[in-house]
């Protein structure tokens, strides 16, 4: 009698283990992430940008690029009239190529778009201390890209040094700084990608060149550093607008 009870217990236990094992196998399918990589590559005259290089602008002035920072926001994939938000905001410091990796759902699209800067609803009268530190719009995450005297984000910073004679071996003693921001300077860029279909587990990289020379040498509006070498937007809004228009022509989907 006692042996029979033990056998029954053993049978129930064995059945439970088997059932549990079956459940495990059938309810945990492998998750394959779908990734989209946006690789931003800074260049100057078609070559990789170097902070050690001295470049010539359209006026024969020598310049060095020491800092390029900018916000991209509202990164969307578009398929006909359907749009999928991929990322709300991201802050780039772009002296070397930098890749933004997005975990996305499987999808098809034919174009991408993003804003250069921070859109109005996230820019004015917002409190960056409400965001977690990991958010690029937070106090720490914004890394100096926020104006505290008149709340709002600095959309783009381009900084460096210049020299006007263009003669070799002349030291680059003067500094230029373009700090661009405020709602009127927010720009949205669109890029045709052709038909793209991302299935589960796919990883696809898009290379986007950021031609920093466009900031200084856009044929329609070259920048003479002897005159235009500083704006914090409010201190010289017309120049900030020109620099913004130049900067947004720097992005090329390769």
Q: State the residues that interact with other proteins by CB under 8 A.
A: 125, 127-130, 133, 138-140, 144, 146, 148-151, 234-235, 237
Q: Which two tokens stand for residue 145?
A: 């890209």
CB 40 within 8 A of CB 94: yes
Residue closer to other proteins by CB (options 53, 140) is 140
- In the complex, minimum distance from the CB of residue 63 to other proteins, in angstroms, rounded to a whole number: 24
- In the complex, minimum distance from the CB of residue 245 to other proteins, in angstroms, rounded to a whole number: 17
- In the complex, minimum distance from the CB of residue 236 to other proteins, in angstroms, rounded to a whole number: 10
Q: Which two tokens stand for residue 216?
A: 């200084």
Residue closer to other proteins by CB (options 37, 150) is 150
Residue closer to other proteins by CB (options 133, 165) is 133
Residue closer to other proteins by CB (options 234, 249) is 234
Residue 126 Cα to chain centre, angstroms: 20
User: If you count them, how many residues does the chain have?
Assistant: 254
Instruction: Work out the number of other CB atoms within 10 angstroms of the CB of residue 56.
Output: 14
Residue 153 Cα to chain centre, angstroms: 15
- In the complex, minimum distance from the CB of residue 25 to other proteins, in angstroms, rounded to a whole number: 43
Query: For residue 71, which of 33, 109, 2, 122 has the smallest C-alpha distance?
Result: 122
- In the complex, minimum distance from the CB of residue 64 to other proteins, in angstroms, rounded to a whole number: 22
Please tell me the distance from the alpha carbon of residue 56 to that of residue 54, in angstroms, as a whole number.
7
Residue closer to other proteins by CB (options 125, 254) is 125
């Amino acid at each position: 009698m006692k042996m029979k009870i033990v056998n029954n217990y053993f049978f129930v236990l064995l059945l439970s283990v088997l059932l549990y094992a079956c459940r495990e196998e059938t309810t945990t399918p492998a998750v394959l992430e779908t990734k989209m990589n946006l690789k931003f590559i800074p260049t100057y005259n078609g070559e990789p940008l170097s902070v050690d290089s001295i470049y010539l602008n359209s006026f024969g002035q020598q310049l060095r690029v020491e800092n390029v920072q900018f916000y991209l926001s509202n990164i969307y994939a578009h398929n006909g009239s359907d749009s999928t938000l991929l990322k709300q905001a991201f802050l780039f410091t772009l002296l070397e190529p930098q890749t933004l990796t997005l975990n996305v759902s499987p999808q098809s699209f034919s174009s991408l778009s993003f804003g250069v800067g921070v859109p109005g609803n996230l820019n004015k009268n917002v409190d960056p201390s409400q965001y977690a530190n990991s958010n690029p719009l937070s106090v720490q995450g914004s890394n100096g890209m926020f104006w505290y005297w008149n709340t709002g984000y600095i959309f783009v910073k381009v900084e460096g040094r210049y020299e006007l004679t263009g003669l070799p071996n002349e030291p680059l003693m003067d500094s230029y700084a373009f700090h661009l921001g405020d709602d009127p300077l927010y720009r949205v860029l669109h890029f045709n990608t052709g038909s793209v279909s991302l299935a589960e587990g796919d990883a696809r990289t898009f290379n986007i060149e950021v031609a920093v020379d466009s900031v200084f040498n856009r044929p329609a509006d070259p920048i003479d550093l002897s005159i235009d070498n500083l704006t914090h937007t409010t201190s010289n809004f017309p120049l900030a607008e020109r620099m913004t228009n130049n900067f947004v022509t720097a992005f090329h989907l390769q």
